[in-house]
Chains A and B, each alone.
Chain A
Amino acid sequence: MTVRPLWVGLAAALALAVLPLVANPYLLFVGNQLSIFVILAVGLNLLVGYCGQLAFAHAALFGIGAYGTALLKVHLGVPFAVSLPCGALLATAVGLAISLPALRLSGLYLSLATLAFAQFTLWVFLHWEPVTFGAGGFRVPAPSWPIPGVTAGIGTFYLALALAVLLTLAAASLVRSRLGRAMIAVRDGEVAAQALGVDLLRTKAMAFGLSAFYAGVAGGLQALMLGYVAPESFDLFHMALMKAMIVVGGLGSIAGSVVGAGAVLFLLEGLRAFKGAQEIAFGALLMGAVILAPRGLAGLLDRLPGWQERYLRAAPAERAPAAAVPREAPP
C-alpha cells in the first residue's frame, strides 16, 4: 500500500477542522498556532531547504506581515479582508528587496546581511513609536466575520487552516515545477545550474519573494489570532524556532516542514512557563538534529513502508550552498 503524504496531511487538516466543535479555547489557540507555524515552516523551507539560501530574515518578514496587517487596520481602518493581503504583499516586496543585495552574496555573507536586516527591522518596530507603538506593542481589534454565528476566534481558526492547507499544497506542487527544480539546481551547485540555463537571479529572487509571502501571510494571521502585536514576537529566538522547525522536520521536504512545525509547537507549549528551559530545549534540538539526524523527521518518514514523498533531493547536507568556496575532499 502506498501512503501518500497528501492524504495523511489532508486527514490531519480534517481532524484539525473539527477541533473547534470539541475543544476548549486553549486547544483552539494551539490548533490555530499550528496552522500559522506550518505556513512559516513551509515558506522557510522553500528558501533554505530547497533553494539553499541560508537567510535569517524570516522572523522579521513574519513581523512585517503582522505589523503591516495590523497597522493598516489600526491607523487607517482598512478591513482585514484588504489589510491581510496587503501585509503579505508588503512582506513579499521587502523580501524581494533584500534579495537584491543577497544575490551578490553567498553562504555566510548572506546569513550576516539578513541577520543585520532582521535586527534593523526589530529596531524599527521598537523605535518608530508614532507608527509602531514601540516596545509595548498594541492591540488589534478582533475581526468580524460576515457569516452569522461565527465568532472572531473560530473564523480566524478556519481561515488560518484553509490558508495552511492551500499554501502547503501550492508549495508541494511548486517544488516539482520548473521553478522548483531550478531552485534545487541552484542549491546543489550554482555554476552547474547556470550552465544548464537556470537564471540564477530570477530563481533566487523568486525563492526569496515566495518565502517572504508565506511569512507575511503567517504574520497577518498571527496578528488576527492574538489581537495583539509586539516586537518581541519577531526576535532571534523566533528565528531559531523557525530554523528548528525545518531542521527537525527535514530540509528540503514539505512533509517534514509540517511535521517539524508540529513538533516545535508541542515542545514550545510544553515548556511555556520556563523561558530558560525553552531556550535550552530548542538549542539542543537544533544542535542534536543537525548533528545526529541531518535529514530530520522526514528521514524517518521515508522509512515508513509505502511512504512516498516525491521530492527531488541529493541530501542537501552534503552540498555546501557556498558554492563559491572550493571544497576539498574529506580525509
Chain B
Amino acid sequence: MLSYLLLSGLTTGSIYALVALGIVLVYKATGTINFAHGDQLMIAGFLAFTLHVLLGLPYLVALAGAVAGSFALGAVAAQVGFRAVLRTSLVNVVLATLGLAFVLKGFARLTWGGISDYLSFPPLVRPEPILIGDMVLLPQQLVVTAGALAVMGLFALFFRLTTIGKAMQATADNPRAARLVGIRVERIHLLAFAVGAAIAGAGATLMAPLTLLYPDIGFMLFIKGFAAAVLGGLTSLPGALVGGIAIGVVEALAAGYIHSSFLEVSAFVAIMATLVLRPRGLMGGPPPRRA
C-alpha cells in the first residue's frame, strides 16, 4: 500500500514539477505568473491527442508536435497579449492571462467535445504491473516519471550551457545589467513564455496516457503546479522539482490514508499553510526585480 502510494505520488508529482518548472521560469524572467499556463498545457495535450490518436502518427512525433505547437502558442500569446501589459501592473498581467486561460478552455470545449467528454489516450507500454518483492510497479508510471525527469534534465542543460539559457538567467538575476550587456530583455520575456509553454506541452503529452483529457484539466494542473512552485519557492528551479514531488506524494498519501476526496484539497491546504508559515517556500530567495 505505502509503496504503491509513494510511487503514484512520485509520478503525479513529477508532472506537477514540470508544470511548476514552467511557472517558475516565467516568474523568474518577468516577475509575473502566467495564469493561462495550465490551459496552454491542456491545449498541447489535445494537440498530441489529435496527432497521435486521430491522425495515427507515432507517439514521439506527437510529442514533438505538441512541444512545437505549445512553443508557438506561448510565443504568440506573449507577443500579442502579454507584452503590452507587462510594463503596466501585476493586476493587468494576471487578468490578461486569466482571460487567455478562459479563451483556450472555451476553444478546447468547442473543438474537442462537451463538458463531460473525457478523451482517453492509449497507453504507451503494456499495462500489466511488474512485481518486485511486494512492490507493484506500473510500467506506465515509470515511463512518465522518467520522461518528466529527462525533460527537466534537458532544460537544466539548456539553461546552464547555451547562450540563450545564460541570457535568460542573467535577465532573471538583474534585468538592468542584462540590458547593459546587450541582452534584449523583451525578447527574453517572450522566450520565457514560449519555453514555459513548451515544457508544459511536453508535460501534457507525457501525462496524457495516465489521465484522461478534458478541458478543465488545465486549471486543475495549473493550481497544483502553482502550489508546487510556491512550496518550493517561486524563484527556485530545483525548488519546483522538490515542491512538485512533495505535493504529489502528500496528495497520494492523504487520498490513501484519509479519504479519496482529500486528493483534490491537500494542494490548497499546502498552499495556504506555506503562505502563512513560510511565504518564501522551501528553497526560494527574494522576489525577482521586474523589468
Partner of A112, one of B108, B185, B275: B275
Question: Would you call the interface of chain B mostly helix, strand, loop, or mixed?
Answer: helix
The B100-156 residues at the A interface (CB cut-off 8 A) are 100-110, 115
Question: Which residues of the partner chain A approach B261 to less than 8 Å between Cβ atoms?
Answer: 123, 126-127
Q: B103–A280 contact, CB under 8 A? A: yes
Looking at the assembled complex, report how far the CB atom of B260 sits from the nearest CB atom of chain A, in whole angstroms. 10
Question: Which residues of the partner chain B approach A244 to less than 8 Å between Cβ atoms?
Answer: 99
Q: Which residue of A lies closest to B222 (CB)?
A: A115
Q: B275–A282 contact, CB under 8 A? A: no
Question: Which residues of the partner chain B approach A120 to less than 8 Å between Cβ atoms?
Answer: 265, 268-269, 272
Question: Which residues of the partner chain B approach A116 to less than 8 Å between Cβ atoms?
Answer: 223, 227, 267-269, 271-272, 275
Answer whether residue A228 sits at the interface, using C-beta atoms and an 8 A cutoff: no
Q: Which of B9-17, B52-60, B81-89 contacts A (4 or more CB under 8 A)?
A: B81-89
Question: Which residues of the partner chain A approach B84 to less than 8 Å between Cβ atoms?
Answer: 291
Q: B272–A117 contact, CB under 8 A? A: yes
Q: How large is the interface on B (under 10, 10 to 19, 20 to 34, 35 or more residues)?
A: 35 or more
Q: Which residue of A lies closest to B275 (CB)?
A: A113
Answer whether residue B287 sits at the interface, using C-beta atoms and an 8 A cutoff: yes
Q: A279–B271 contact, CB under 8 A? A: no
Question: Would you call the interface of chain A mostly helix, strand, loop, or mixed?
Answer: helix
Q: Which of A103-111, A163-171, A305-313 contacts B (4 or more CB under 8 A)?
A: A103-111
Q: B109–A108 contact, CB under 8 A? A: no
Question: Which residues of the partner chain B approach A108 to less than 8 Å between Cβ atoms?
Answer: 27, 32-33, 90, 94, 234
Q: Which residues in A have some Cβ–Cβ distance to B below 8 Å?
A: 48, 52, 54, 101, 104-105, 107-109, 111-113, 115-117, 119-120, 123, 126-127, 236-237, 240, 243-244, 247, 251, 274-288, 290-291, 294, 316-322, 324-328, 330-331
Q: Which residues in B have some Cβ–Cβ distance to A below 8 Å?
A: 27, 31-33, 81, 84-85, 87-92, 94-96, 98-110, 115, 175-176, 179, 185, 219, 223, 226-227, 230, 234, 261, 264-265, 267-269, 271-272, 275-276, 279, 287, 289-291
User: What are the nearest 10 A-B pairs in CB distance?
Assistant: A279-B106, A283-B102, A286-B99, A287-B99, A283-B103, A276-B109, A280-B106, A276-B110, A116-B271, A116-B268
